Amino acid sequence: MPEWLASETALVGELVGGQAAAWDVAGELPVELLRKLGAQGVLCAEVPAAYGGLNATSHDNGEFTAYVGSLCSSLRSIMTSQGIAAYAIQRLGDREQRKRYLADLTGGQLAAVGFSEPAAGSDLAAMQTQIRAEGDSFVIDGQKKWVTGARYADLLLVLGLFGEGAAFAVVPTTTPGVQVELVPSPLGCRAAGHSNIRFDNVRIPASSVLGGGGQSLSLLFTTALSYGRMSIGWGCVGIVRACLNAATNHARNRSQSGKPLAEHQLIERHLAELLVAEQVSTRICQHASQCWESVSPDMVVAAVLAKHVSAGHAARSAATAVQVLASAGSQDGHVVARAYRDAKMMEIIEGSNEICQLILAQHALSTIPDNA
Amino acid sequence: MTTDQTTAALTAEAIEDALLAFLAERIKTEVAADQDLFKSGLVSSMFAMQLVVHLEETYDIAIIGPDLKLDNFRTVKAMTSLVHRVRDADDA
């Protein structure tokens, strides 16, 4: 754990305590805890100090994200959303917007980011949400689905069509015409507050459209998602670590047929696989963070790789850990039971396995020399 | 890419040459300065984002707001004029 994030780590450890299981079962995080963490800047720790942030490096925030992910993927999902919002604002906003909104996001306000729509998941071209000029202001109409953290959010970052291009608009959840409806009983990250949102003739000032709008939809999407993929990759490292820890301890302490599980070779193989998963996912996220910190053009693909590899390892590791713990880990709320459900969702969001594979295949086709 | 390209004497030709070399290395194809990279299928929006990062890092600029349009990355010439425009705006 990076030394200078030590106090933040201790704070999260103390605030979460042993409550993650209860939050999972109840399907809700205590919002006052989220605000407290938000006001400490830890939900989007990479925000530069000039904007009130902790100015964490990608590595340090990554290890911190993994730590939170090892405790509670619902809370880590909130961090991912807040971090995407902060990164998009920093990257796309003008000077005034950066100042104003990043102060909000490091001051206790919570943000959620709306990408998916009823007809537009991976298929961006099907996006229908419109942000259009009307007099001095803008009007938003449309729907967003499965918006992580929207239940708790003060600010919604909404991606929509805008003239010939697209735009991100920042919309306070209390704006007339915004309707947030909680997704009941999600498979995983049950306390992350996933919600469907309707925007019905929602009027916002022109100053809430990031950078004046009109950017390319795919570039906006890729920008925001790249941060999200880094965060999810590291969060999955946390899931794998929690599984490795739980399975190793269980194998050490539980005896069957007169000897500890750890002395049964088939169980040992599970532990070996968990260790490999922990190492591989950590290394690939470290690589992505290195690309991110050195502002390498490879950072976009490195983030896809990190997310894809870590999510796959998290899903397999969670299944392995449940297998090792068996009935001991088969109750909702248990760390490996949560991991099993949460990790599966990590193979879906921010680019499903299949979308990641398409991107990686294209990368291979465009970078491997043609030997013909 | 080396940092000596960020020095003052940054001609359009120098930027073009550097970009053509960067593209040749990345996509393993020789392209012309006015070739539509997207239309020719050589470049995806994912790669366009890599171009954004590359230009920002190499020329010490920030490409934000309405400059973040695919049209600005469509050809080597378009990217060259984007770099000039953003640098001039920064100097102003």
Average pLDDT rounded to a whole number, residues A111-131: 93
What pLDDT is recorded for position A315? 98
pLDDT in tens, A148-200: 999 999 999 999 999 989 999 999 999 999 999 999 999 999 999 999 999 99
pLDDT digits (tens, 9 = 90+) for A230-276: 999 999 999 999 999 999 999 999 999 999 999 999 999 999 999 99
The pLDDT tens digits of the residues spanning A26-73 come to 999 999 999 999 999 999 999 999 999 999 999 999 999 999 999 999
Q: Which of B28, B48, B66 has its CB closest to that of A214? A: B66
ipTM above 0.85?
A: no
Assess whether pLDDT exceeds 80 at residue B7: no
Secondary structure of chain A as H, E, C letters: CCHHHHHHHHHHHHHHCCCHHHHHHHCCCCHHHHHHHHHCCHHHCCCCHHHCCCCCCHHHHHHHHHHHHHHCHHHHHHHHHHHHHHHHHHHHCCHHHHHHHHHHHCCCCCEEEECCCCCCCCCHHHCCCEEEEECCEEEEEEEEEEECCCCCCCEEEEEEEECCEEEEEEEECCCCCEEEEECCCCCCCCCCCCEEEEEEEEEEEHHHEHHHCCECHHHHHHHHHHHHHHHHHHHHHHHHHHHHHHHHHHHHHCEECCEEHHHCHHHHHHHHHHHHHHHHHHHHHHHHHHHHHCCCCCHHHHHHHHHHHHHHHHHHHHHHHHHHHHHHHCCCCCHHHHHHHHHHHHCCCCCCHHHHHHHHHHHHHHHCCCCC
As a CATH number, domain A218-367 is 1.20.140.10
Task: Using an 8 Å CB-CB cutoff, list chain B residues near A211.
Answer: 64-66, 68
What is the least distance, in Å, from the CA of B28 to any CA of chain A? 6
Query: A-contacting residues of B 2-61, CB under 8 Å?
Result: 26-28, 42-54, 56-57
Q: Where in chain A is the domain with CATH 1.10.540.10?
A: 3-110
Q: So what's the pLDDT on residue A15?
A: 95
Per CATH, domain A112-215 is 2.40.110.10: yes
Pairing assessment for the beta strands A130-134 and A111-114 based on DSSP bridges:
unpaired
Q: Which residue of B has its CA nearest to A291?
A: B53
Residue contacts between A and B (CB atoms, under 8 Å): 84
Tokens at residue A191, please?
Answer: 């306390």
Q: Please state which architecture CATH assigns to domain A3-110.
A: Orthogonal Bundle (1.10)
When the pLDDT of each residue in chain A is averaged and rounded to a whole number, the result is 95
pTM above 0.90, yes or no: yes
Residue A208: what residue type? S
Confidence of residue B5 (pLDDT cuts 50, 70, 90): very low
In chain A, CATH 1.20.140.10 sits at 218-367
Cα separations in angstroms, B92 against A29, A208, B84, B87: 49, 26, 12, 9
CB contact under 8 A, B28 and A359: no
Predicted confidence at residue B42, as pLDDT, reads 65
